[in-house]
Amino acid sequence: MIRVGTRGSKLALAQSQMVADEIERVSGEKTELVEIKTTGDGTTVPVAQLGVGVFVNQLRDALENGSIDIAVHSYKDLPTQQPEHLVIAVPPRADARDVLIASQGRTLAELGPGARIGTGSPRRISQLLALGRDFECVPIRGNIDTRIGRVGDDLDAVVIAAAGLKRVSREQEITEYLDPLVMLPAPAQGALAVECRKADKTSARISSMLNDRYSQAAVAAERGLLARLEAGCSAPVAALADVSEGSAPGEIDLYLRGAAFAVDGTVTERLSTTATLRDAEAGDLAAQAAEVGKALAEDLLAGGAEQLLKSEL
């Protein structure tokens, strides 16, 4: 029996069940979901105030003490510093984009000046304000049902990650998929991290069977950028990597976009880069991709991103 640790939210349970089902499919092992309450659950305090790792630490504690074998995280919630004794597999990534759910089925272009848009993300707030449409960004927290429930009540719209909505089968309520040119996603958005103890050879072998090397490389590039900027998961930083098969066997082509923002939307540092990764081993590909992310971060810092991020402390 493989014990799969998960937070207790509707979304966390849905995505953890997806992982558990896949574990059973590829390994033949039975699974059991183990719900674990984290610091970030049951509070309306903004994530930026709670600090990094609030949705992660208790799951990792459960791995440490052996009460679970595998933990399932939303990858974007993880601190950028990975403990050496824990290993992560990345299943195929879901849609990384943000989406709009608006009253009366409106798109972003159809929302007028003063429209109240719910989001607690500094990254989303800055990009909405940068449009110069005089939107009012309303800080919100809570589960997907709670957020959507406020649309048409005290909010005109909310911005949410596409992947989460699809995992709880509410994608039919999306009124617009936001183009990354308008709303660049958070690093690792849409990706799951399946984490276990490196010393637990059985769980490590099983979790590795779920790993998708394209998704792992894309996430590594995005988080490499985030780590070099020394920014947390709630910082006004965005990144998105597109990965495709290269022209030669064993090659992967990587296109990475990254940005840092002033939360008031007045200043943006936005750059992109391309690279070819040349190794068939997934771990080596991830390491190369992370270096690409770090190099792009250096360019962002040289362009002024450091001052933008300092201004948010």
Assigned token pair, 104: 């009366």
φ, ψ dihedrals at 5, nearest 5°: -80, 140
Same fold, 1-92+191-211 and 98-177: yes
What pLDDT shows up at residue 313? 42
* Domains of the chain by residue range: 1-92+191-211, 98-177, 213-313
pTM recorded for the entire structure = 0.92
CATH 2.60.120.10 matches 213-313: no
Indicate which residue of 21, 69, 77, 179 is catalytic.
Answer: 77
User: Please, are residues 182 and 126 in contact by the beta-carbon 8 Å criterion?
Assistant: no
pLDDT in tens, 70-80: 999 999 999 99
pLDDT in tens, 94-105: 999 999 999 999
What pLDDT shows up at residue 50? 46
pLDDT in tens, 105-155: 999 999 999 999 999 899 999 999 999 999 999 999 888 999 999 999 999
Average pLDDT value for residue range 247-257: 91
Pick the CATH number of 1-92+191-211 from 3.10.180.10, 3.30.1330.60, 3.40.50.300, 3.40.190.10: 3.40.190.10
Q: Give the integer Cα–Cα distance in Å for 304 and 266.
A: 13
**134: annotated active-site residue:** no
Q: Which residue has the higher pLDDT, 290 or 231?
A: 290
Collect all residues with Cβ–Cβ distance below 8 Å to 67 and sequence separation of at least 6: 3, 5, 34
**63 C-beta neighbours (distance < 10 Å), count:** 23
Average pLDDT value for residue range 2-31: 97
pLDDT in tens, 210-243: 999 999 999 999 999 999 998 766 679 999 999 9
What pLDDT shows up at residue 43? 52
- Asked whether the predicted pLDDT for residue 266 surpasses 60, the reply is yes
- Asked whether the predicted pLDDT for residue 312 surpasses 80, the reply is no
pLDDT in tens, 33-68: 999 987 655 555 555 544 556 679 999 999 999 999
pLDDT in tens, 182-217: 999 999 999 999 999 999 999 999 999 999 999 999
Collect all residues with Cβ–Cβ distance below 8 Å to 231 and sequence separation of at least 6: 237, 260, 309
Which CATH number is associated with domain 98-177? 3.40.190.10
Collect all residues with Cβ–Cβ distance below 8 Å to 120 and sequence separation of at least 6: 46, 47, 139, 140, 141
Q: Give the integer Cα–Cα distance in Å for 101 and 171.
A: 10
3-state secondary structure the chain: CEEEEECCCHHHHHHHHHHHHHHHHHHCCCEEEEECCCCCCCCCCCHHHHCCCCCCHHHHHHHHCCCCCEEEEEHHHCCCCCCCCEEEECCCCCCCCEEEEEHHHCCHHHCCCCCEEECCCHHHHHHHHCCCCCCEEECCCCCHHHHHHCECCCECEEEEEHHHHHHCCCHHHCCEECCCCCCCCCCCCCCEEEEEECCCHHHHHHHHCCCCHHHHHHHHHHHHHHHHCCCCCCCCEEEEEEEEECCCCCEEEEEEEEEEECCCCCCEEEEEEEEEEECCCHHHHHHHHHHHHHHHHHHHHHCCHHHHHHCCC
Q: Give the integer Cα–Cα distance in Å for 237 and 229.
A: 9
User: Please, are residues 251 and 277 in contact by the beta-carbon 8 Å criterion?
Assistant: yes
